[in-house]
């Protein structure tokens, strides 16, 4: 009889754990930048291109990633960007521009054609031992 009580207790404990994990899992799925629209609700790629043109974007690459449209290209200011779009609404789910990391020249992406840093990017090794700073903060 003792074994039956222990087994019943174990089953109830396992059921409680599985239920708790099941409750938290869907909440975590909505925290990500994945898209979950059914394929029959997706807008066509031509609609993505038209929306991009209205925003002044130049698309270099359009693909599907994590159930979203992923667009890489240049924005209206000429800055490179990568954006994830909800395929049903074409709302921007996530967007990263070349200067989003606030890293100055490190945040600048190389030219797509040459692979070289932009002409106005700061040279590597800007601060060398013994060099005087060009700007002083007081």
**Number of domains the chain contains:** 2
pTM of the model: 0.51
Q: Rounded to 5 degrees, what angle do the CA atoms 16, 20, 25 make?
A: 150
Residue 88 in any domain: the answer is yes
Residues 81 and 27 in one domain: no
Confidence of residue 102 (pLDDT cuts 50, 70, 90): low
Residue 57 and residue 26 share a domain: no
Residues 70-78 have a mean pLDDT of: 94
Confidence of residue 29 (pLDDT cuts 50, 70, 90): very low
Question: Per-residue pLDDT averaged across 7-21, rounded?
Answer: 54
Same-domain status, 22 and 44: no
CATH number for the domain that contains residue 100: 3.10.450
On whether residue 85 sits in a domain, the answer given is yes
Classify residue 79: in a domain, yes or no.
Answer: yes
The closest alpha carbon to 109, from 77, 81, 71, belongs to 81
Contacts of residues 117-126 at CB distance under 8 Å and 24 or more positions apart, as own/partner, are none
Residues 46-66 have pLDDT tens digits of 999 999 999 999 999 999 999
Average pLDDT of the chain to the nearest whole number: 74
Segment 111-131, tens digit of pLDDT: 555 555 555 555 555 556 776
Position 98 in a domain: yes
pLDDT of residue 99: 74
Residue 120 lies in a domain: no
**Is residue 138 assigned to a domain?**
no
Residue 48, pLDDT score: 95
Range of the domain at 6: 1-31
């Amino acid at each position: 009889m003792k074994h039956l009580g222990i087994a019943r207790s174990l089953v109830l404990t396992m059921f409680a754990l599985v239920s708790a994990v099941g409750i938290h899992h869907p909440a975590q799925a909505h925290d990500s930048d994945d898209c979950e629209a059914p394929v029959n609700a997706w807008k066509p790629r031509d609609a993505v291109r038209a929306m991009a043109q209205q925003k002044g974007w130049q698309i270099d690459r359009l693909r599907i990633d994590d159930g979203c449209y992923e667009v890489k290209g240049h924005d209206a200011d000429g800055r490179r960007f990568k954006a994830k779009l909800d395929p049903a609404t074409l709302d921007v789910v996530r967007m990263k521009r070349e200067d989003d990391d606030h890293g100055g020249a490190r945040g600048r992406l190389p030219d797509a054609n040459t692979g070289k840093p932009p002409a106005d990017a700061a040279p590597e090794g800007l601060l060398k031992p013994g060099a005087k700073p060009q700007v002083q903060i007081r």
